[in-house]
Chain A
Amino acid sequence: MIIRKLFVFLVTAIVLIGGSQSSVTKTSAQSDNAAQAKASIDQMLTRFRNAAENADGKEYFGCLDKDGIFLGTDEKERFTLETLKATFGPNFEKGMGWKRDIKQRYIFVGPNNQIGWFEEHAQRENLGAMRTTGVVRKTEDGWKIVQYNVSFPVPNEVVNDVAAIIRKSKESAGTKTKATNETPLTDEQRQLFDQSFEYVWEKIRDTYWDPELGGVDWQAVYDELKPKLDNAKTESDADRVLDALVSRMKVSHFAIIPKAAYEELGHSEEKGARGGVTGMDVRIVEDQVLVVSVTPDSPAEKAGIHTGWILEAIDEIQVPAKLAEVKKEFENNPHQRVILASAANSRIRGRVGDEITVTFRDGNDKLQAKTIELVPPRGEVVQFGHLPEFRVRVDVKSFDDDIAYFRFNAFMNPIQVMTAYNEFMTDNMDATGIIIDVRGNGGGGGEIAMGMIGWLMQGEKASFGKVILRDNELNLIVRPRAVTNSRPVVVLIDEMSVSAAEFFASGIKDLTKARLVGTRTAGAVLGSQIERLPTGDGFQFAAANFISNRTGKTLEGVGVTPHEVVEPNREMLLAGKDAAIEAAIEWIQSQIK
Chain B
Amino acid sequence: MNFSLLRQQVNKAVVAIEFVLIIGTLILAAPHLQAQETETKQAASKTTQDLPSGEDVMAKHIAKTGGQQAYDKIKNRVSESTLEIVGQNVSLDIKTYAARPNKTLVKIDSELTGKIEKGSDGKVFWENSLISGPVIHDGVQRSMGLRDSTFERFVHWKTIYESAECVNVKMVGDSECYEVLLQPKKFDPADEDESPIHVFFDTSSYLIHKLQAVIELEVGKIDVVAYPGDYREVDGIMMAHKVRMELMGQTREVTVKSTKHNVKLPENLFDLPDEVRKLVK
| Contacts from A to B (Cβ < 8 Å) | 86, 89-90, 93, 203, 206-209, 252-253, 338, 342, 382, 384-387, 390, 413-415, 418-419, 422, 442-448, 450-451, 454, 461, 467, 469-477, 479, 481-482, 498-500, 503, 522, 524-532, 540, 542-544
Contact = CB atoms under 8 A, between A and B. Distances in A.
B69 interface: no
Nearest to B275: A482
A253 B4 contact: yes
A470 B29 CA distance: 10
B6 A471 contact: no
A86 B89 CA distance: 7
Contact of A419 (B1, B31, B130, B279): B130
A446 B218 contact: no
B3 A499 contact: yes
B189 to A, nearest CB: 22
A385 B4 contact: no
Dominant secondary structure of chain B at its interface with chain A: loop
- Give the interface SS of chain A, mostly helix, strand, loop or mixed: mixed
B33 A443 contact: no
A503 B90 CA distance: 23
The 4 closest A-B pairs by CB, nearest first: A527-B29, A470-B32, A207-B31, A499-B4
A447 B86 CA distance: 21
B87 interface: yes
Contacts of A527: 4-6, 27-30
Contacts of A89: 89
Given A90-B89, A207-B249, A475-B218, A529 B2 contact: no
Nearest to A388: B1
Contact of A469 (B1, B7, B135, B248): B248
Interface stretch (B15-23, B52-60, B106-114, B176-184): B106-114
B197 to A, nearest CB: 19
B190 interface: no
Given A253-B2, A415-B130, A481-B133, 13 more contacts: A253-B3, A253-B4, A385-B89, A386-B88, A386-B89, A447-B131, A448-B7, A470-B32, A472-B248, A474-B219, A528-B4, A528-B29, A544-B30
A265 to B, nearest CB: 11
A372 B31 CA distance: 44
B90 A384 contact: yes
A222 to B, nearest CB: 19
Contacts of B33: 470-472
A455 to B, nearest CB: 8
A469 B86 CA distance: 19
A387 B112 CA distance: 13
A151 to B, nearest CB: 28
A95 to B, nearest CB: 12
B101 to A, nearest CB: 29
B30 A543 contact: yes
Contact of B2 (A443, A445, A543): A443
A447 B1 CA distance: 19
11 contacts: A253-B2, A390-B1, A443-B2, A443-B5, A447-B131, A450-B131, A451-B133, A470-B249, A481-B133, A499-B2, A524-B4
A477 B218 contact: yes
A498 B2 contact: yes
Contacts of A385: 5, 88-90
Contacts of A524: 2, 4
Contact of A415 (B8, B31, B111, B220): B111
A470 B131 contact: no
Interface of B: 1-9, 27-34, 86-90, 111-114, 129-135, 218-222, 248-249, 275, 278-279
Contacts of A498: 2, 4
A325 to B, nearest CB: 21
A447 B2 contact: no
Contacts of B87: 90, 93, 531
User: Looking at B1, B7, B89, which has the most chain A CB atoms within 10 Å of its CB?
Assistant: B1
A364 B2 CA distance: 35
Nearest to B113: A414
A528 B5 contact: yes
A538 B137 CA distance: 38
Contacts of A446: 4-7, 28-29
Contact of B8 (A386, A447, A499, A543): A447
B114 A529 contact: no
Contacts of A475: 218-220
Nearest to B26: A474
B246 to A, nearest CB: 12
B114 A418 contact: yes
B3 A445 contact: no
Looking at B4, B222, B278, the one whose CB has the most chain A CB atoms below 10 A away is B4
Nearest to B32: A470
Among B27, B30, B31, B220, the most chain A Cβ lie within 10 Å of the Cβ of B31
B172 to A, nearest CB: 22
Nearest to A498: B2
Contact of A471 (B32, B112, B114): B32
Contacts of B8: 447
Interface centre among A207, A467, A469, A473 (most CB of B within 10 A): A469
Contact of A500 (B4, B31, B114, B275): B4
B5 A445 contact: yes
A421 B7 CA distance: 18
Contact of A472 (B9, B86, B218, B222): B222
A476 B219 contact: yes
Contact of A206 (B2, B34, B134): B34
